Amino acid sequence: MIWQGGSGVKKIVIVEDDVFMREELTDIFQKAGYAVHCISRFSQTVADILTVDAGLILLDLNLPGQNGFEICRQVKRQLSVPILVLTSQDQLKDELHALELGADDYLTKPCHTSRLLARVENLLKRFAGRENMLDGNGFLLDSQTYTLYVEGRSKILSENEGRILEILTRQRGEVVSKEQLSHALWGTTEFIDENALQVNMTRLRRTLREVGLEKRIQTIRGAGYCLCRGGGEDS
């Protein structure tokens, strides 16, 4: 079986530093009909992943340089692609941490081939058609149409609302400065009245309240704004 998306065949990207394991995994997926791309250098792992039209990322945690947890976090901020962690780390705390960072499934080595292929196929089916979706932990945002999906409901945001929510979602849990938001909205930080940003932020917060996502945007005084998990100060 070759899994295909709207733009053709998508690849299984294998991020594994053990050459023998990498070759074994490549053989497994190629025999199953998948296209495969291997990451074999780890000086700029995330950048290398982003250059590939990935359908799914198979990620080890014990990697030289940057560890798999950080790679998972960074990739999930930039791509809507399933990540299956395949690792020898069998501690529950490691699994929970990986899932918190955005991993979509977690398997420990050694793993039976049939189980691995079944998990991969299931993830690909779940993510089919979601290439443009950003996960906001409680909602999905289509980054092309700025359609917001919450618990079976959908709402189309204005362009400015969508741009603000997109950058906050891509950097979920981190502070986004007013300058970053102004640049995202108007392409510049010069000659922009701060009140203009505040007006757009107020509109977005009002929209989020309408779909039950109140208090998701937290004001970090003197620094900017942050998209929190819920229960933040909506001010």
- pLDDT, one tens digit per residue, over 44-103 is 999 999 888 889 999 999 999 889 999 998 898 777 789 999 999 889 999 999 998 889
Read off the pLDDT band of 200 (50, 70, 90). very high
Euclidean distance between CA atoms 95 and 34, whole angstroms: 26
- pLDDT, one tens digit per residue, over 13-27 is 999 999 999 999 999
Domain at 134-227: CATH architecture? Orthogonal Bundle (1.10)
Is the predicted pLDDT of residue 203 greater than 70, yes or no? yes
23-41 average pLDDT score: 94
- pLDDT, one tens digit per residue, over 140-159 is 898 889 999 888 788 999 99
**Same CATH fold assignment for domains 4-131 and 134-227:** no
The answer to whether the peptide bond before residue 82 is cis (omega within 30 degrees of 0) is no
pLDDT at 202: 95
pLDDT at 128: 80
Domain 4-131 classified CATH 3.40.50.2300? yes
pLDDT at 79: 79
pLDDT at 9: 56
Read off the pLDDT band of 191 (50, 70, 90). low
CA–chain centroid gap for 152, Å, is 20
Domain boundaries, the chain: 4-131, 134-227
Calculate the dihedral angle through the C-alpha atoms of 141, 142, 146, 147, rounding to the nearest 10 degrees: -80
Euclidean distance between CA atoms 34 and 213, whole angstroms: 39
- The answer to whether the predicted template modeling score (pTM) of the entire model surpasses 0.85 is no
Average model confidence (pLDDT) for the chain? 87
